[in-house]
């Protein structure tokens, strides 16, 4: 599987103790300015590629209803413009600068982090055996990670375990936004009959994004945070963490996972 050219960059590296200099591939990280109806609303550090999906997913996760996104031909690179009817700029009057490590860092107030979303009521049930296989299937579809070791991934799966979409990014929240943006473009929202699988840990923000997208089950190789579990229980999302080596830890709504 080929590495997308915008995802990795080659640099010189000195390897010790051998003392040999070699070319190495690193994950690309660049800023992206997101505009709504021509107005700048956010800057995020991301891996280039699928920028329109990233912008759509980001705004959907913030409770904004976009229509479409495009790269403006008359603006510098690393800018994407989103059309959204009825957009209220006052709703975004807080610091939206996000880093590649934490999507909620720098926001104006803790109470501004939460986004209203309806409880997830999907009756989707999966076998634990199938859930246990998803991280490996996700890993097999991460060419940029294989080359750089520096990218997170989110995969969208059908209940059969078939992979629908995978996106990689230096920011775990960006990878999730890209998948949600993909689902929006494909008319798949809400994700009532789908599963989201992430390559790292389960943070509050990732669960929030999944809840807004209406996804009933989230799977991760790593651990959830306490706040992520609290939010999942509140919104009716099933969280499966430490999914590796055939094991599955279910932290919320366990009725959706059958042994």
Q: Which of helix, strand or coil describes residue 256?
A: helix
CATH of the domain at 77: 3.10.20.10
As a whole number of angstroms, the longest Cα–Cα distance in the chain is 60
Q: Is residue 106 in some structural domain? A: yes
CATH of the domain at 140: 3.40.140.10
Give me the pLDDT at residue 93, please: 56
Q: Are residues 103 and 130 in the same domain?
A: no
Bigger pLDDT: 19 or 208? Answer: 208
Give me the pLDDT at residue 108, please: 40
Query: For the chain, how are helix, strand and coil distributed in percent, rounded to 5?
Result: 30, 30, 40
Main-chain dihedrals φ then ψ at residue 75, nearest 5 degrees = -120, 160
Distances in Å between the Cα of 81 and the Cα atoms of 122, 155, 183 are 33, 25, 18
Q: Tokens for 171, please give them.
A: 């920011």
Domain boundaries, position 88: 30-112
Separation of alpha carbons 169 and 116, rounded Å:
26
pLDDT (tens digit per residue) in 35-80? 999 999 889 999 999 999 999 999 999 888 999 999 988 776 799 9
Q: Is residue 12 in some structural domain? A: no
Give me the pLDDT at residue 145, please: 75
Among 112, 143, 159, which residue terminates a domain? Answer: 112
Mean pLDDT, all residues of the chain: 88
Separation of alpha carbons 42 and 36, rounded Å:
9
Among 77, 112, 147, which residue terminates a domain? Answer: 112
Give the number of other CB atoms < 10 A from CB of residue 47: 30
Q: Are residues 173 and 251 in the same domain?
A: yes
Q: Are residues 86 and 133 in the same domain?
A: no
Q: Which of helix, strand or coil describes residue 91?
A: helix
Q: Are residues 96 and 173 in the same domain?
A: no
Q: Are residues 81 and 141 in the same domain?
A: no
Q: Is residue 181 in some structural domain? A: yes
Q: Sorting pLDDT into bands at 50, 70 and 90, what band is 244?
A: very high
Q: Are residues 153 and 237 in the same domain?
A: yes
Separation of alpha carbons 129 and 176, rounded Å:
24
User: From the DSSP assignment, how many helices (H) and strands (E) are in the chain?
Assistant: 6, 14
Residue 187 confidence (pLDDT) above 50: yes
Q: Sorting pLDDT into bands at 50, 70 and 90, what band is 91?
A: low
102 an active-site residue?
Answer: yes
Q: Tokens for 8, please give them.
A: 């990795």
Q: Which residue has the tokens 């699988």?
A: 197
Give me the pLDDT at residue 7, please: 80
Q: Are residues 136 and 250 in the same domain?
A: yes
Give the number of other CB atoms < 10 A from CB of residue 257: 18
Q: Are residues 246 and 157 in the same domain?
A: yes
Q: What is the share, in percent, of the chain residues with pLDDT greater than 70?
A: 86
Q: Are residues 168 and 230 in the same domain?
A: yes
Q: Are residues 143 and 99 in the same domain?
A: no
Which residues, 6 or more positions from 150, have their beta carbon under 8 angstroms from its beta carbon? 26, 27, 170
Calculate mean pLDDT across residues 111-115. Answer: 54
Separation of alpha carbons 194 and 154, rounded Å:
13
Q: Is residue 6 in some structural domain? A: no
Calculate mean pLDDT across residues 139-161. Answer: 87
Q: Is residue 243 in some structural domain? A: yes
Q: Are residues 93 and 138 in the same domain?
A: no
Q: Is residue 170 in some structural domain? A: yes
Among 58, 86, 112, which residue terminates a domain? Answer: 112
Q: Are residues 93 and 175 in the same domain?
A: no
Q: Is residue 14 in some structural domain? A: no
Q: Is residue 23 in some structural domain? A: no
Model-level pTM? 0.89
Q: Quote the number of domains for the chain.
A: 2
């Amino acid at each position: 599987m080929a590495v997308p050219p915008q995802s990795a960059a080659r640099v010189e590296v000195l390897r010790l103790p051998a003392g040999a200099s070699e070319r190495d591939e690193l994950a690309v990280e660049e800023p992206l300015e997101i505009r709504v109806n021509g107005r700048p609303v956010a800057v995020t550090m991301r891996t280039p590629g699928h920028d329109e999906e990233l912008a759509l997913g980001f705004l959907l996760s913030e409770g904004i209803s976009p229509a479409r996104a495009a790269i403006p031909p008359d603006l510098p690179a690393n800018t994407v413009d989103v059309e959204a009817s009825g957009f209220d700029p006052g709703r975004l009057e807080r610091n939206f600068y996000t880093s590649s490590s934490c999507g909620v860092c720098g926001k104006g107030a803790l109470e501004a982090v939460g986004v209203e979303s309806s409880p997830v009521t999907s009756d989707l049930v999966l076998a634990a055996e199938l859930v246990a296989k998803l991280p490996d299937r996700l890993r097999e579809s991460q060419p940029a990670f294989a080359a750089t070791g520096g990218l997170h991934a989110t995969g969208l799966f059908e209940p059969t375990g078939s992979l629908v979409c995978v996106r990689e990014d230096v920011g775990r929240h960006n990878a999730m936004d890209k998948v949600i943006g993909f689902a929006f473009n494909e008319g798949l929202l809400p994700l009532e009959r789908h599963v989201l699988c992430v390559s790292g840990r389960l943070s509050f923000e990732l669960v929030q994004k999944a809840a807004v997208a209406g996804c009933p089950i989230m799977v991760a190789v790593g651990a959830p945070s306490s706040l992520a579990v609290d939010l999942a229980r509140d919104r009716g999302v099933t969280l499966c963490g430490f999914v590796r080596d055939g094991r599955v830890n279910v932290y919320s709504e366990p009725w959706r996972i059958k042994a």
